[in-house]
Amino acid sequence: MRKIHQNINIANTLKGEFYNSRHIFLESIEKIFANNWHLVTDINSVSNEKNAFPFMYMEKLLPEPLLLFKNKDLKCFSNVCTHRGNILIDKPCFIKKYITCNYHGKKFDTEGKFKYMPKCEGMINFPSPEDNLKQIPVEKWRQFIFTSLNPKIKFDQLIQEMDDRIGWMPIEDFKYREDLSKKYQVSANWALYCDNYLEGFHIPFVHEGLNSVLDFNNYDVEIFKYSNLQIGIASDNDICFDIPKESIDYGKKIAAYYFWVFPNMMFNFYPWGLSLNLVNPISINKTEIIFKSYVWDESKLNVGAGADLDKVELEDEEIVERVQIGTRSRFYKHGRFSPTMEKGVHHFHTLISNAMNFK
């Protein structure tokens, strides 16, 4: 496929083929998702009571068994025994000294180093570094934990602009609310779902309720290296943030900060807290959307731009599924970008283009 032009005024969008080719889809999983950071969980999953947290990295398409472990420091290891490949830990638990394989008794310490294996007398060149558990990169931002199988981007480059902009919020104190969290499945390619998120162009046409609480004419997008920010300005007297004087946004009537972080993470900050959305590919035209709610001020729930998130989601899913069908048309090749309204989509497409090494 052809590389996306850096100049939005002459660039074409990704071709319809990108959203419908099985070959391109599988290639994108390796080149985009295996090589970038993935949000795993929050810090509450590894505590003094349960310091080991097993998980699958992108369970649907990159099911790599991994293990978060918190002793003095936070670490991430392969959750696979280096003897015969048994899964070491099945559920969150507390480990004081050793990780012991329940297949043949091989032991590892809490630094992932080999410690002991029965009946190994006579083995030559044993133990070797290959007998240790592979350590995987892991990073924490506020209360959230991220990892990557093979990161091509430094984590600070990914998250710094968001932290600089909204770091005044006590994000580490936001409380996870399972009752306000949901999972959705949309019949569309993961990138089409992101395309839709990354522009406010469609809001007046698709989201009547949301449009009534946002000032569409002042909807703004800011582009960073590996993320971008859409700012929702409150209309009239609708609820907005009480922004501190040290913020560059002081004095603005901001109803929502919509941060998108490459490739599939959406941090939606409202006066009530954070709606964290993870866009996980399942197949070419199936995507799982995970909504996790972290509440800051419960009194501000269900008002303003952060209200009716389920209604907005279903409206988005309906339009994106229609677009998925349309991109399969033999008469659709690609589109053009609105220079004022689709800067975020163009940025996303250029990042995909670079990650996929399009020429």
Q: Are residues 122 and 75 in the same domain?
A: yes
Between residues 200 and 110, the one the model is more confident about: 110
In a domain, 304, yes or no: yes
**Sheet bearing 114-116, strands edge to edge:** 98-100, 107-109, 114-116
For every residue of 87-114, which 3-state class applies, written as one string? ECCCCCECCCCEEECCCCCCEEECCCCE
In a domain, 153, yes or no: no
Instruction: Count up the domains in the chain and report the number.
Output: 2
C-beta atoms surrounding 216 within 10 Å: 15
pLDDT of amino acid 215: 63
- Decide: helix, strand or coil at residue 129: helix
pLDDT of amino acid 103: 97
Q: Are residues 98 and 201 in the same domain?
A: no
Q: Are residues 186 and 234 in the same domain?
A: yes
Q: Are residues 125 and 189 in the same domain?
A: no
pLDDT of amino acid 101: 97
- Decide: helix, strand or coil at residue 177: strand
Give the phi and the psi of residue 200 in degrees, each rounded to 5.
-95, 5
pLDDT of amino acid 66: 98
In the numeric block, which tokens belong to residue 117?
């294996």
pLDDT digit string, tens, across residues 121-149: 999 999 999 999 999 999 999 999 999 99
Q: Are residues 132 and 182 in the same domain?
A: no
Does residue 308 register a pLDDT over 90?
no
pLDDT above 70 coverage of the chain, percent: 96
The model's confidence at residue 208, banded by pLDDT at 50, 70 and 90, is confident
* Cα 190 to Cα 194: distance, rounded to the nearest angstrom: 7
In the numeric block, which tokens belong to residue 263?
């490739």
In a domain, 283, yes or no: yes
pLDDT of amino acid 211: 64
In a domain, 25, yes or no: no
Q: Are residues 228 and 82 in the same domain?
A: no
**Which CATH number belongs to the domain containing residue 238 in this structure?**
3.90.380.10
pLDDT digit string, tens, across residues 251-287: 998 999 999 999 999 999 999 999 999 999 999 999 9
Average pLDDT of the residues of the chain: 93
Segment of 69-73, 92-96, 313-317, 351-355 carrying the highest mean pLDDT? 351-355
Q: Are residues 261 and 117 in the same domain?
A: no
In a domain, 204, yes or no: yes
Task: Decide which of 90, 115, 140 is a domain's last residue.
Answer: 140
**Which CATH number belongs to the domain containing residue 86 in this structure?**
2.102.10.10
In the numeric block, which tokens belong to residue 327?
């991109």
* Cα 335 to Cα 13: distance, rounded to the nearest angstrom: 5
Domain enclosing residue 55, as ranges: 43-140
* Cα 219 to Cα 344: distance, rounded to the nearest angstrom: 12
Q: Helices 343-355 and 190-197, interaxial angle, to 10°?
A: 150
In the numeric block, which tokens belong to residue 160?
């710094």
In a domain, 62, yes or no: yes
pLDDT of amino acid 311: 84
The model's confidence at residue 313, banded by pLDDT at 50, 70 and 90, is confident
Q: Are 266 and 1 spatial neighbours (Cβ–Cβ below 8 Å)?
A: no
Q: Are residues 206 and 128 in the same domain?
A: no
Q: Are residues 234 and 336 in the same domain?
A: yes
Q: Are residues 218 and 339 in the same domain?
A: yes
Q: Are residues 124 and 226 in the same domain?
A: no
In a domain, 37, yes or no: no
Query: Regarding beta strands 175-186 and 286-295, do their DSSP bridges make them parallel or antiparallel, or are they unpaired?
Result: antiparallel
Residue with tokens 């975020």: 344
